[in-house]
Structure 1
């Protein structure tokens, strides 16, 4: 067995190879439309997905309900997908949303917010506000029965939405689940240096390019509604943050949790050894992904208002 073959024997290495194969096809001439199509294929849900999928119009924002097998609680999880605000979709994250629905026993409402560069900041945040208001008007028990969730840019968007709601005096959700959150679009955290060799996919130059694509070349990367790390964090609901130890965006998670705890927020973090960015998207490949999703489900079940109804 060659050294290369031996290095790809672990499940995490096989996952990395699949992701790199997609990213490696991208160059200066690759259109954003091609990147989006590649992402949807990379993370496509299996045809036998064990969930009910129902497209809905959330006051003009495309969305879809993902319902778990069997009965669901009265709680709902509002989900924002990742992809640097430029790629990612309801299709690319349907399996991950279904896993969260199954683990939590709650329906998940995925939000197809507008993407850059066609729709720059604050378009995604405007869509998040609209979708939240739509869901809030339909939940019998109000905000106490809603949790926010997201991964990467979507997790940052969930945090930006909570800051916006708090500042407006609007009802806040009961909790938030944040996977590999992108909280600092200026990429100032120490892990962009300390994890540069460990992270096989995301480097600081790529992160900054995505930030420019979202904000525009003259956008301010330290505006709290774009980079929630720079916001005033008191008054936010309980949150669980999950991040891989190999991530260049590790500091986006750890620094945010440190600041949130200092502001009196009930925030806890799970740092998963040897894991990469949003490793939860590979539940069939990684035992760690399955374990993290179970932990996320337990967190959501404990904080949403109604117990699981038994058939």
Structure 2
């Protein structure tokens, strides 16, 4: 796949590129055109550019709103409200002719979902103007007057945290508007994304999923018109919602293979990272994550596979799990990848989906992947732990349903408004409260101490350790939700990438005949290890949060200490001793330069070959 090269935007004061060829990972600042790699927060144009961009957007909103009003007065009103392109994902299922019964039910369900989404008030320029006045300008003003909420937090990240937290709770915010706003933000960073994508080779594949009840004797017919290979999923999971249209039994699914454009000699094509993207089960797509996790292919020396699983509320539970399972089966049955050469990875809801898929594979008797890498996994959808209130305002994620808005991703994913009992008892929904987590592969968890989901990630790690699994958890001071992707130039993001590489190389890829359980819990500050970590029976990262967790979940507060004494030398470092974060930055910069040299050599060789 060829991608055109586009010039990188520069800082208005120091004229430094916001994202240059030596940057292996895109950043939030560069996506939003508010960063400066030259002087960072000290650059005089840093916040001036935000203010100027905001007023430009507001002026444009007012002008277009006036134009829309003039047009509406001269033209007849539309009979139906238009649904924005980002309001619902494009259907991927094939359209057979004549349609089968399952395809007809799928089409009926998709139509009903589209009508439900269209019923929401579509985004208007007036609403965007309201976002600017109620969220953008106050966020900038508070950051200017009060400074960042946390010591060491960049001004750009602080503005984003305040802006997102306020905008998500605005009255009138709904799914259609939220998808439209996030879609517009992605357009702002299109050129920066292209700077990353041009280093990658992306190939899309498609297959047909056939869902069969677990107790069925044989697969049902009706896949003659299937698009691509057919992957059969035998599942015992059923939707919680029973009053809607019947769930489809066949549908199409797509995914992207992502490889470096110029891989180095150590690159292994038969090892794969199956990445399940985040987005609260209602946002996100594989195209968005090509630039975010595509560079993993080069840094981890293996291919990245990103499936476009179906989103709620159009496709509630268990649609995403069935799609993730089918992606794993596609890799093993169609692509010929050995299960122990596959690493699961995911962020936020993608981390939840990784755990749910692992539980499904175990419960249905399938082989397991070699490991899982979870970044800020959404682990307890009941949101009943103390950090949900303790960190509110320090993280950009707000309390779902707060601020008078009905915008609740949990209800959309489960498919029911009254979902609390399910979220507190069902391990497929909330893996952190699963009663049995035995038989999981080694799991790495990256956590930020400022996350509202902090406690549920600690709970997930303790439950994994309780049930005899190897788990590595890194807790980064003042880290926000999914900070390795949100603030990828921060010292903690650099450290997190290095730890993921070490985990994959030293744990996931290591052939172990009789694996011994290990638990490693480490606290980090500004990318460096907090002194004294790893010396006590109960790691400080757990001990600090456990009393509140135990009280909220009605657990014995002393039970954790007993679990840690159960296995001798259970809490022990299993990854290499950490190098200084500045050394890691040098390593990343050198790797980026080498990758650039390989691409240039490949381009020169291609030109020479064409001339001959």
Whole-Å separation in 2 of the counterparts to 1:134 and 1:213? 27
The answer as to whether partners of 2:162 and 2:393 remain within 8 angstroms in 1 is: no
Match of 1:32 in 2: 175
Report SS of the residue matched to 1:76. Answer: strand
Distance 1:85 1:140 in 2: 29
Structure 2 Cα separation of the partners of residues 189 and 36 of structure 1: 28
In the alignment, which residue of structure 2 is the partner of 1:225?
Answer: 428
* Alignment match, 2:509: 304
Instruction: Indicate the residue corresponding to 1:103 in structure 2.
Output: 299
Separation (CA, whole Å) in 2 of partners of 1:198 and 1:4? 13
1:283 Cα shift? 5.2
C-alpha distance in 1 between matches for 2:459 and 2:275: 23
Which of 251, 265, 272 pairs up with 2:476? 272
Aligned counterparts, 1:210-249, within 5 A:
210-215=409-414, 216-219=416-419, 220-221=422-423, 222-231=425-434, 232-249=436-453
Q: Give me the CA root mean square deviation.
A: 2.7
Contact 2:359 / 2:428 at 8 angstroms: preserved in 1? yes
2:391 matches 1:195 = yes
Please give the per-residue CA displacement for 1:232-282, whole angstroms capped at 9, x wherever unaligned: 101000010001000010112110000100100001100011110001113
CA distance in 1, matches of 2:254, 2:165: 27
Q: Which has the larger radius of gyration?
A: 2
Offset at residue 182 of structure 1 (A):
0.5
Tell me if 1:61 matches 2:200. no
Change (3 A) 1:165 1:284: closer
Q: CA deviation at 1:85?
A: 0.6
Looking at structure 2, the residues matched to 62 and 28 of structure 1 have their Cα atoms a distance apart, in angstroms, of: 35
Cα distance in 2 for partners of 1:16, 1:61 equals 38
Q: Deviations over 1:74-113 (max 9, x none)?
A: 2101111111111122233222212322321111111211
Aligned to 1:17: 159
Note the C-alpha offset of 1:197. 4.7
Equivalent in the alignment of 1:7:
147
Q: Note closer, same or farther for the CA distance 1:182–1:51 as it changes in structure 2 (3 Å cut).
A: same
TM-score for both structures, normalised by structure 1:
0.88
**Following the alignment from structure 2 to structure 1, what is the Cα–Cα distance between the partners of residues 346 and 142?**
37
SS in 1 for 2:495: helix
Q: Distance in 2 between matches of 1:153 and 1:84?
A: 5
Change (3 A) 1:101 1:37: farther
The whole-number CA distance in structure 1 between the counterparts of 2:429 and 2:401 is 18
Most deviating of 169-178 and 51-60: 51-60
SS across alignment from 1:108? strand
SS at match of 1:113: coil
CA distance, structure 2, for counterparts of residue 17 and residue 250 of structure 1: 21
Distance, in Å, in 2 between the alignment partners of 1:262 and 1:294 is 27
2:408 to 184, 206, 209: 209
Higher mean C-alpha displacement, 289-298 vs 196-205: 196-205
Deviates more, 1:170-179 or 1:106-115: 106-115
Deviation, structure 1 residue 70: 0.7
Partner of 2:263: 70
CA–CA distance in 2 between the matches of 1:257 and 1:171? Answer: 22
**Which residue number in structure 2 is paired with residue 46 of structure 1?**
193
Deviations along 1:112-165, one digit per CA (max 9) or x if unpaired, are 111111111111111111111101124545111001000001100000000000
Distance 1:183 1:208 in 2: 19
Q: Which residue of 1 aligns with 2:594?
A: none
Contact 2:272 2:343 in 1 (8 A): yes
130-139 or 197-206, which moves further after superposition? Answer: 197-206
Shift of residue 28 of structure 1? 4.3
- Which deviates more, 219-228 or 115-124? 219-228
Question: How many positions carry a matched residue from both structures?
Answer: 307
Q: CA offset at residue 16 of structure 1?
A: 3.6
Q: Look up the SS of the partner of 1:264 in the other structure.
A: coil
Given that residues 103 and 296 in structure 1 are in contact (C-alpha distance below 8 angstroms), is that contact kept between their aligned partners in structure 2?
Answer: no
Change (3 A) 1:193 1:18: closer
- Unaligned stretches of 5+ residues in structure 1: none
CA distance in 2 between counterparts of 1:54 and 1:13 reads 37
8 Å Cα contact 2:341/2:509 also seen in 1: yes
Q: Which runs of 5+ in 2 are unaligned?
A: 1-43, 45-140, 209-251, 512-597, 599-612
The one of 344, 347, 354 aligned to 1:151: 347
* TM-score normalised by length of structure 2: 0.47
Contact in 2 for aligned 1:77/1:148 (Cα 8 Å): yes
